[in-house]
Chains A and B, each alone.
Chain A
């Protein structure tokens, strides 16, 4: 990849001598130097061969490729490695003839040739190999990988154009730019800036008044004041919470494949995230609360209020993974383990920036993460999840109910429970009756034995029992009453319904969707062979990543006498936030950077491992991470630092940068940014003046409208209960998108089309697509048409009878600027022409029909709405520069 880029760049530079070659080709520099096992060969073998030849349960063919000295021995096929003689080495024979690796992808010809040259050069290693073969060997090269190294704070470099340096960020960026004969783009103008920063911080367009205030403010700190105002706005928390909710995998439904049941109290976690960002809660505290909030507070949890309650709510983070275990999943054990696995994936990608989940079944193929590390991490969370004494999503909720309500509810529950038991008794009786009837069909001499087999618990059955049940399968377990006795099933259902009726009288129980650990449980974590819960192996204690152990201890005590619970998650959170953890701060500042500049310094936001892309500016990333920690993990300080840089204030057009650096890795310009799904919906609501800024609370319902689209609103149904359309919800349909119910199975059409977060189990990075259905939305969707009408109505209200003024205001609302004269004239002509076109469309004969039933079309208003719609659908509105 790098080579191709170099060719391109060299090509351009040859044409334009003013632009020098950008990057040195590292791989070609190394090509003819000595090839070593550690640096060049081991990574290839680790990825494709260790699985069978070193790290598996058995050594296939007696071949162990983990160390060079182990290859010098004989194997079933001969001597694996003969230094200096590739053709005599079984290793080379196998890979060059395509016999190995088996069944999987073969090595590339480059890799084969690398191995050949390495053997030819004498199969060198950098240093003597260890005497013992460790179960999982982490080499020095692997430890030296950039993201496992401590954060190093280097002084910002000295640059030629110090006058362009406003923050240290600029010095780091400019250093690289100047080295390539480049610089920043010319600064963006003030209107572009207020539009950009208002969108980045709040997700909304600036109002014309806000623009006017900023433009007329000549003070030297006008921009800083603007940034402070935006950071203080509650809209800021709503915007940045959404970014975090993506990586947390926030959803208001449980995500089962068949039944996507409601997750009725998840919204408290969403509100907690909004509050945390608005309050600039230090990020270390934010992490700690989300991982271990329940270990920070004292039960009874139902009595918690205020900040203490927020700590508990924070653990909702660990309850965001899909959890269909309350919806009768086909395989309960599998489903439970999947909930834990998904949670580990969310924790790992969001906080560690690693794909630890890849080590669930085997050692990580590319990163120095042994399978045991996966289970060490699992052991951190296992006591709270406790898969052997599993709780459904509903059972995990914590009630905030007042005592008297609780007593009333308990009383009703007791009564209902008695009825439930009666239903179960009836059910069992009917099943037994069925069995007794069935047994008469069995030959008499067999009956007792068949019944005996049925009565024997499944795990105690002998081969004979099993054979009997195969011969007479109606006596196997899990007979469904509904399938064998519809009448009986109905009777049971009627009794169950009585219990349900009782329960409707229960006082509503306010809940928290969170994770709590029960004290005093001894929950073991074992390694699963090949990740299969049916194949438990050795016990694994909790801990962090082995590869980091040389930096500081990665041990986590199994129990903590100071703690009510095991304290494992709290210890893990402390490890992450101790200020020297190499991943936590780097991963977060990189995400923030991504949202401002359209790509992270390390572009693979959730993978800081070997397969992730290397950071373009590692020193800058480290400086930011270090500064973030030094500023007590203040996210708002981080924002200020970035926002006041020259880099952020640049323009988006810069031919020198575009030619020499098309991917903009050096940031010699600002990347154009398309409004994201929320930014588009909220932006349209804002410019029309419709936006309802009420905060917090239960999610806004979604419904299927008459055209079959999912929209914000309540579901209208006909007499049969079939959906007929969506009803308005008292102005709540105009609230911000972050409050709209996130149903995994029913994403809102307008937002889904514009690449809303796809959460499976979380969303590390959103796709950005450009597809015709988006254009159809902007052309014909009801939501867009209604907003265009709203906008036209607003223009008319605020600039009555003044077409010119209406156009001017429209431009100000959407683009934070005035139209130039050509644009103004063009718009006025458009209005006039469109008025005629619409008039001839709605009234082709030229005579108004005197049909009282047909609502009269306000043609000039429709023409104005058409202008509004055109501008809302234009790239100038859809993108920010």
Chain B
């Protein structure tokens, strides 16, 4: 410490100051104990908009949890439910006839009222007999582990808004996403890797880009860390050539030494301590993150299971495998995201839908199998789905090769697996055309309340106080825990 040589008027610095300051020395065990207690007891009392302290230490929820980690496979664009998950014989019967009800189109210039039946064959699979389209032959092999929800509804007929609804519970930008809420509530089980990671697609950013892994108004400690879709998957992990190995170890050791001395001079400053920890995590990330991202250590059989051996499935296969490796290492929330809105099949669905399915069907099914095989599925909630589905009528009526389907957020399909979800079932129904959800509707709020429940969290109690307001994922909207799908 430096001598107090700041010239001030006489009496400015009285002896009393020093007497009081030294009344209990900085190193006293009683003081240290008290400071620790402060940390524990003072936390809830910290007033709003003070610089609150947050951390990633593992925490428990409101009730015992079924799920420990979540992998959300976002398929943005609007996978066609009646071609994949929701067979509708009535459409076949009415093929080419005029659709009898009201439809909301996104692209009027290509719209038609002609009913378009599902273009692929459905078959029952597994013990449960859940029907799936022939486009998902691999998913069919794990159908007993998944719960297909055919009655999802957001009701906002636009990609962006509907995606916001599903990822953050609100239809506008700026709110925290599910991963942020989970890490805020539960912390992380690894201190060597970020708690919330987003695995993006090599062809480009998804619709709404960073808003998909935004911490919104939660502290940025809970923001998703984006993993680049190509090597190097995390930035700044590599020290420069000349500082590798022992040189960097020395540098970090010296830094720690300096920081500890500095902390001793400011013993009550928890943030200084947190930064020391953050350097420790960062140092470990250089290898831990790299190791976690390195799928070359996986067996040939595993790599083959995920389809990494084939060009077509290599990208999704690698990312699904990385997701499993991250969850295995204690990461709380992993997002696997497609590019743009690649499931948005307004035209040429006959070719485009099989293409996009073929890239991910095997890897996604492999993920379920692999998680199950390693005993991780019970505690890992897997979500698959987009922000909307599609209409039961033709868009772009220019022949079989050209037809597509327009948007529909009134009834579409997502599926969940693991983490306390009952496998081998379907839930909810759309009308006879697969247009609107009519039975057991699951709104985005219901979905959120349910997944929080699986994590041991009560959606009405998981709140963040900001500027004096109590904010929650379900936004104080009606939200139902869908008990019927819980194992």
Please, what's the 1-or-0 string for A613-635, where 1 marks a CB less than 8 Å from any CB in chain B? 10000000000000000000000
- Taking a contact as CB atoms under 8 Å apart, the answer to whether B2 and A866 are in contact is no
- Taking a contact as CB atoms under 8 Å apart, the answer to whether B4 and A870 are in contact is no
A672 to B53 alpha-carbon distance, docked (Å): 14
Residues of B within 8 A of A (CB): 2-14, 16-18, 20-21, 23-24, 26, 30-31, 34-35, 37-38, 41-42, 44-51, 54, 98, 102-103, 105, 107-113, 158, 160, 173-174, 194, 208-209, 211, 219-221, 225, 228, 232, 235-248, 250-252, 254-255, 257-259, 262-263, 265-269, 271-272, 274-276, 278-279, 281-283, 285-286, 396-397, 460, 467-469, 476-478
CB contacts (< 8 Å) of A840 on chain B: these are 246
CB contacts (< 8 Å) of A659 on chain B: these are 24, 31, 34
B317 CB to closest chain A CB, in angstroms? 22
- Taking a contact as CB atoms under 8 Å apart, the answer to whether B17 and A607 are in contact is no
- Taking a contact as CB atoms under 8 Å apart, the answer to whether A655 and B31 are in contact is yes
A745 CB to closest chain B CB, in angstroms? 7
CB contacts (< 8 Å) of A470 on chain B: these are 102-103, 113
Say which residue of A103, A866, A879 sits within 8 Å of B251 (CB atoms). A866
Known contacts A186-B4, A781-B236, A842-B241, A776 near B285 by CB under 8 Å: yes
- Taking a contact as CB atoms under 8 Å apart, the answer to whether B225 and A773 are in contact is yes
A441 to B225 alpha-carbon distance, docked (Å): 54
- Taking a contact as CB atoms under 8 Å apart, the answer to whether A330 and B158 are in contact is yes
Known contacts A605-B49, A874-B255, A881-B266, A187 near B23 by CB under 8 Å: no
- Residues A859-874 near B (CB distance < 8 A): 859, 862, 866, 869-871, 873-874
Known contacts A483-B107, A866-B243, A613 near B278 by CB under 8 Å: no
Top 7 A-B pairs ranked by shortest CB distance? A611-B468, A473-B111, A775-B282, A479-B109, A163-B11, A476-B108, A190-B6
Say which residue of B30, B255, B267, B276 sits within 8 Å of A870 (CB atoms). B255
A743 CB to closest chain B CB, in angstroms? 12
A858 closest partner in B (C-beta): B242
- Let me know if A674 is at the binding interface, CB within 8 A: yes
Say which residue of B220, B235, B238, B257 sits within 8 Å of A769 (CB atoms). B220
CB contacts (< 8 Å) of B258 on chain A: these are 870-871, 874-876
Known contacts A187-B8, A779-B248, A606 near B44 by CB under 8 Å: no
Known contacts A4-B44, A189-B4, A103 near B478 by CB under 8 Å: yes
- Let me know if A159 is at the binding interface, CB within 8 A: no
Q: How large is the interface on A (under 10, 10 to 19, 20 to 34, 35 or more residues)?
A: 35 or more
- Taking a contact as CB atoms under 8 Å apart, the answer to whether A862 and B20 are in contact is no
A394 to B12 alpha-carbon distance, docked (Å): 58
A12 to B33 alpha-carbon distance, docked (Å): 11
CB contacts (< 8 Å) of A228 on chain B: these are none
Say which residue of A185, A672, A772 sits within 8 Å of B272 (CB atoms). A672
- Taking a contact as CB atoms under 8 Å apart, the answer to whether B268 and A658 are in contact is yes
B277 closest partner in A (C-beta): A770
- Let me know if A127 is at the binding interface, CB within 8 A: no
Among the listed stretches A304-312, A375-383, A529-537, A645-653, which one makes contact with chain B, having 4 or more residues with CB under 8 Å of it?
A645-653
A870 to B89 alpha-carbon distance, docked (Å): 69
- Taking a contact as CB atoms under 8 Å apart, the answer to whether B272 and A875 are in contact is yes
CB contacts (< 8 Å) of B257 on chain A: these are 826
A655 to B26 alpha-carbon distance, docked (Å): 7
CB contacts (< 8 Å) of B250 on chain A: these are 830, 833-834, 837
- Residues A779-815 near B (CB distance < 8 A): 779-781, 785
A656 to B8 alpha-carbon distance, docked (Å): 22
Among the listed stretches A88-96, A295-303, A541-549, A760-768, which one makes contact with chain B, having 4 or more residues with CB under 8 Å of it?
A760-768
B107 CB to closest chain A CB, in angstroms? 7
A707 to B235 alpha-carbon distance, docked (Å): 7
A789 closest partner in B (C-beta): B240
Known contacts A18-B23, A222-B7, A330-B158, A183 near B16 by CB under 8 Å: yes
A274 to B9 alpha-carbon distance, docked (Å): 35
**24 pairs from A and B in contact (CB 8 Å cutoff):** A8-B42, A18-B23, A164-B12, A166-B12, A188-B6, A220-B9, A473-B111, A474-B110, A474-B397, A476-B111, A606-B467, A611-B469, A655-B21, A656-B23, A663-B46, A672-B271, A672-B272, A772-B281, A775-B283, A779-B252, A780-B238, A830-B250, A842-B241, A866-B243
- Taking a contact as CB atoms under 8 Å apart, the answer to whether A471 and B49 are in contact is no
CB contacts (< 8 Å) of A610 on chain B: these are 468
- Taking a contact as CB atoms under 8 Å apart, the answer to whether B278 and A777 are in contact is no
CB contacts (< 8 Å) of B7 on chain A: these are 190, 218, 220, 222-223
B232 closest partner in A (C-beta): A707
Among the listed stretches A512-520, A596-604, A845-853, which one makes contact with chain B, having 4 or more residues with CB under 8 Å of it?
A596-604
- Let me know if A161 is at the binding interface, CB within 8 A: yes
- Let me know if A589 is at the binding interface, CB within 8 A: no
A817 to B265 alpha-carbon distance, docked (Å): 16
A625 to B105 alpha-carbon distance, docked (Å): 56
Say which residue of B16, B47, B107 sits within 8 Å of A480 (CB atoms). B107
- Let me know if A838 is at the binding interface, CB within 8 A: yes
CB contacts (< 8 Å) of B46 on chain A: these are 663
Known contacts A777-B236, A840-B246, A473 near B468 by CB under 8 Å: no
- Taking a contact as CB atoms under 8 Å apart, the answer to whether B45 and A5 are in contact is yes
A655 to B22 alpha-carbon distance, docked (Å): 8
CB contacts (< 8 Å) of A876 on chain B: these are 258-259, 262
A655 to B283 alpha-carbon distance, docked (Å): 33
A105 CB to closest chain B CB, in angstroms? 6
- Let me know if A408 is at the binding interface, CB within 8 A: no
- Let me know if A192 is at the binding interface, CB within 8 A: yes
CB contacts (< 8 Å) of A187 on chain B: these are 4, 6, 8, 12-13
Say which residue of B10, B98, B173 sits within 8 Å of A257 (CB atoms). B173
A215 to B4 alpha-carbon distance, docked (Å): 12
Say which residue of A603, A764, A767 sits within 8 Å of B50 (CB atoms). A603
A425 to B247 alpha-carbon distance, docked (Å): 70
- Taking a contact as CB atoms under 8 Å apart, the answer to whether B9 and A772 are in contact is no
A104 to B225 alpha-carbon distance, docked (Å): 34
- Residues A457-478 near B (CB distance < 8 A): 470-474, 476-478
Please, what's the 1-or-0 string for A817-832, where 1 marks a CB less than 8 Å from any CB in chain B? 1000000001000100
A807 to B355 alpha-carbon distance, docked (Å): 62
B282 CB to closest chain A CB, in angstroms? 3
A186 to B236 alpha-carbon distance, docked (Å): 41
CB contacts (< 8 Å) of B221 on chain A: these are 769-771
A641 CB to closest chain B CB, in angstroms? 17
Say which residue of A189, A663, A745, A838 sits within 8 Å of B42 (CB atoms). A663
B53 CB to closest chain A CB, in angstroms? 9
CB contacts (< 8 Å) of B281 on chain A: these are 772, 775
- Taking a contact as CB atoms under 8 Å apart, the answer to whether B47 and A613 are in contact is yes
- Taking a contact as CB atoms under 8 Å apart, the answer to whether A776 and B109 are in contact is no
Known contacts A103-B478, A672-B271, A604 near B468 by CB under 8 Å: yes
- Let me know if A184 is at the binding interface, CB within 8 A: yes
A780 to B272 alpha-carbon distance, docked (Å): 20
- Taking a contact as CB atoms under 8 Å apart, the answer to whether A830 and B259 are in contact is no
B351 CB to closest chain A CB, in angstroms? 18
- Taking a contact as CB atoms under 8 Å apart, the answer to whether A776 and B24 are in contact is no
Known contacts A656-B23, A841-B242, A478 near B49 by CB under 8 Å: no
Please, what's the 1-or-0 string for A16-46, where 1 marks a CB less than 8 Å from any CB in chain B? 1010000000000000000000000000000
CB contacts (< 8 Å) of A665 on chain B: these are 47
- Taking a contact as CB atoms under 8 Å apart, the answer to whether A841 and B244 are in contact is yes
A182 closest partner in B (C-beta): B20
CB contacts (< 8 Å) of A613 on chain B: these are 47-49, 468
Please, what's the 1-or-0 string for A659-686, where 1 marks a CB less than 8 Å from any CB in chain B? 1001101000000101000000000000
Known contacts A187-B8, A480-B107, A613-B47, A875 near B247 by CB under 8 Å: no
- Let me know if A415 is at the binding interface, CB within 8 A: no
Say which residue of A7, A479, A770 sits within 8 Å of B274 (CB atoms). A770
CB contacts (< 8 Å) of A838 on chain B: these are 242-243, 247
Known contacts A611-B469, A776-B282, A840-B246, A193 near B108 by CB under 8 Å: no
CB contacts (< 8 Å) of B245 on chain A: these are 837, 841
CB contacts (< 8 Å) of B54 on chain A: these are 769
CB contacts (< 8 Å) of A183 on chain B: these are 16-17, 20
